[in-house]
Amino acid sequence: MDSTTLLYEALAQGYRVWAVSFDYNQRHRIELESAATIAQRLGLPHKILKIDLGQIGGSVLTDMTQDVPDQADNRQFSTVVPLRNALFCTLAASYGETVGVDEIFYGPVKEDFLAYRDCRRPFFDSLAQALSLGSSNEGRAVRIHTPFVDLYKREVLERGFALGVPYKLTHTCYRGQRPPCGECDACRERLAAFAQLGRTDPLMV
């Protein structure tokens, strides 16, 4: 939901986009199919970059060998892979250098900003500076755009409706189910955003 809205936002801002998805060994791999479908529909190049975050450990989203505690009282913590956004942005910047792209659009929203330190502007500004300094081309200035960082999810959704985002084609469920389970954290947040706008999620129809 956020990523597709971000894509439409970048296009609306006039950018020519290379769409990038991350195959990080996530349980909800079905989101990669959705991304491919959406990019194809828009006629955009789409690259899936693989990085197995399961090997890092620490997250129930990827670590199939990890016991998920029955009484997990802090579910947000258990979906954290340390520095995940640093890895994704760096991979995108590396790939971008090979295709001549210096600007990255990344989609954290206000709820992420409040929960995760690597979803905040000071981090993205600092990382962009590091990536600029490390790029092979001395003149390269890497920029990381996060147009939704100050917007709550419902505001992102509102923006998406204005942009004509085909939410029917998106995927959000952490359990990777289609139709979505409606019960996992990701589904609940999505459904809450639709409800707050008085809209029906087309995936739940």
Q: Classify residue 68 as exposed, middle or buried by CB count within 10 Å of its CB (0-12, 13-18, 19+).
A: exposed
Contact between 86 and its own copies by CB under 8 A: the answer reads yes
Q: Are 127 and 115 in contact (CB under 8 A)?
A: no
131 lines the binding site for its own copies (CB under 8 A) = yes
Nearer to its own copies, 32 or 56 (CB): 56
Min dist CB 138 to its own copies, Å, is 7
And the tokens for 160?
A: 């998406």
One of 29, 50, 75, 178 touching its own copies (CB under 8 A): 50
Structure-block tokens of residue 54: 């399961």
| Single residue of 57, 69, 179, 202 touching its own copies by CB under 8 A | 57
Among the candidate windows 3-11, 65-73, 91-99, 191-199, which touches its own copies by CB under 8 A?
91-99
Residue among 53 and 156 whose Cβ is closer to its own copies? 53
Contact flag: residue 26 with its own copies (CB under 8 A): no
Is residue 113 involved in binding its own copies (CB under 8 A)? no
**Smallest separation, CB 65 to its own copies (Å):** 14
3-state secondary structure of 143: strand
Q: Residue 96, Cα to own-chain centre: how many angstroms?
A: 17
Count CB neighbours of 69 within 10 A.
11
Query: Per CB under 8 A, does 85 bind its own copies?
Result: yes
Whole-angstrom distance, CA of residue 86 vs CA of residue 202? 32
Binding mask 65-84 for its own copies (x = CB under 8 A): ---------------xxxxx
What tokens does 171 get? 């995927």
Taking a C-beta distance cutoff of 8 angstroms, is the pair 105, 145 a contact? yes
Is the bond preceding 45 in cis, omega lying within 30 degrees of 0? no
For residues 4 and 160, the answer to whether their CB atoms sit within 8 Å is: yes
Decide: is 11 part of the binding site for its own copies (CB under 8 A). no
Amino acid code (one letter) for 55: Q
- Interface residue with its own copies among 95, 110, 111, 189 (CB under 8 A) is 95
**Does 52 interact with its own copies (rule: CB under 8 A)?**
yes
Site residues (vs its own copies, CB under 8 A):
49-52, 55-58, 80-87, 90-91, 93-95, 97-98, 116-118, 120, 122-123, 126-127, 129-131, 133-136, 138
